[in-house]
């Protein structure tokens, strides 16, 4: 890589590993629209993904080839991310991790240590934090007294995750796959750390991950946060966060894309993945890591602290 010159003077050569729906729909266009990156390879056990991009079945095949690469975006199911990321870090590649960054907290802790040891940039990409309403919401809340928060994240898994059987396996997170997006926004816009106090999770009788949950959190000052998750919502879909304050109610809707306050409504363009890749390029060029485990830690805390209920089996 050094033979090709500094990364500040040329595009960052990037490969995508795990070529499912999110890679195709979001990562490829965001990379292709960003002059800081050049997409040089895809890696997936399936067939070649893009007609004009070299393809490899495994990361070992990529690293053993003469395809030059500076950075890796990992979009596989979470259960196998840590091994791939560890291999990439050991080879000196910068790493972007789709959310959730790993299947466990020890895995992401080990990767962070390894990234520091090898002086590479590791980025936990919480895409919902880049939704158009999130930064304005954080700014609006900064001078308010927050009284309570209500998070409703209810979607139809059959519509949004067709064929993604891994989501129901142990380590697949179930309804926390979307729910962790809500937690990534809440931990970004609220000023104090969130603690999970109690709750209940419902597991279908044939699944190792929950289909719904009702969770009570509070911030370190005792401010209550209610989290309601449902993966079987038909009809209108709901990805809302409502924050009651001394200055009125803020509502983030559509997964953070739209913000309502007493002063009016803020709409923005869908900018999550373009913003993620601008952020990743900055982290690489500044030689820093950007690892935040707070959303994943709250999901682990939910599994650790909630009651478990068995409910009827789920069939797609």
Residues that bind a second copy (CB under 8 A): 82, 86, 103-107, 109-110, 113-114, 170-171, 193-196, 198, 203, 208, 220, 294, 297-301, 303-308, 310
Name the residue nearer to a second copy (CB basis): 4 or 198. 198
Helix, strand, or coil here: 308? strand
**Phi, then psi, of 267 in degrees rounded to 5:** -105, 145
Indicate the DSSP class of residue 156: B
**Phi, then psi, of 114 in degrees rounded to 5:** -65, -40
Helix, strand, or coil here: 163? coil
List the catalytic residues: 99
In the complex, the smallest distance separating the C-beta of residue 13 from a second copy, rounded to whole angstroms, is 27
Name the residue nearer to a second copy (CB basis): 32 or 192. 192
In the complex, the smallest distance separating the C-beta of residue 104 from a second copy, rounded to whole angstroms, is 4
**b/e string for 57-84 if b means 16 or more Cβ within 10 A?**
eebeebbeeeeebbbbbbbbbbbbbbeb
In the complex, the smallest distance separating the C-beta of residue 47 from a second copy, rounded to whole angstroms, is 28
In the complex, the smallest distance separating the C-beta of residue 129 from a second copy, rounded to whole angstroms, is 18
Name the residue nearer to a second copy (CB basis): 119 or 139. 119
Name the residue nearer to a second copy (CB basis): 70 or 301. 301
Distance CA 222, CA 33 (A): 44
What is the distance, to the nearest Å, from the Cα of residue 232 to the centroid of all Cα atoms in its chain? Answer: 21
């Amino acid at each position: 890589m050094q033979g090709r010159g500094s990364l500040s003077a040329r595009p960052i050569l990037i490969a995508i590993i795990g070529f499912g729906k999110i890679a195709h729909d979001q990562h490829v266009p965001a990379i292709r629209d960003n002059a800081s990156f050049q997409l040089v390879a895809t890696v997936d056990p399936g067939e070649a993904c893009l007609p004009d991009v070299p393809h490899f079945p495994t990361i070992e095949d990529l690293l053993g080839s003469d395809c030059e690469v500076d950075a890796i975006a990992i979009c596989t199911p979470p259960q196998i991310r840590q091994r791939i990321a560890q291999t990439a870090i050991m080879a000196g590649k910068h790493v972007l991790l789709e959310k959730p960054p790993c299947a466990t907290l020890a895995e992401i802790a080990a990767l962070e240590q390894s990234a520091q040891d090898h002086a590479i940039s590791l980025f936990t990409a919480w895409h919902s934090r880049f939704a158009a309403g999130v930064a304005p919401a954080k700014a609006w809340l900064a001078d308010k007294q927050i009284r309570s928060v209500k998070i409703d994240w209810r979607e139809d898994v059959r519509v949004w995750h067709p064929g993604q059987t891994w989501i129901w396996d142990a380590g697949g997170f179930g309804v926390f796959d979307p729910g962790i997006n809500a937690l990534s926004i809440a931990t970004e816009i609220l000023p104090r750390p969130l603690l999970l106090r109690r709750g209940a999770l419902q597991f279908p009788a044939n699944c190792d991950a929950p289909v719904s949950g009702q969770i009570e959190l509070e911030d370190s000052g005792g401010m209550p946060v209610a989290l309601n998750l449902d993966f079987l919502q038909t009809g209108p879909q709901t990805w809302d966060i409502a924050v009651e304050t001394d200055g009125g109610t803020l509502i983030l809707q559509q997964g953070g894309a739209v913000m309502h306050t007493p002063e009016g409504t803020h709409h923005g363009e869908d900018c999550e993945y373009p913003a993620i890749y601008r952020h990743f390029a900055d982290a690489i060029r500044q030689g820093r890591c950007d690892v935040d485990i707070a959303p994943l830690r709250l999901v682990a805390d939910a599994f650790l602290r909630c009651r478990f209920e068995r409910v009827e089996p789920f069939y797609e």
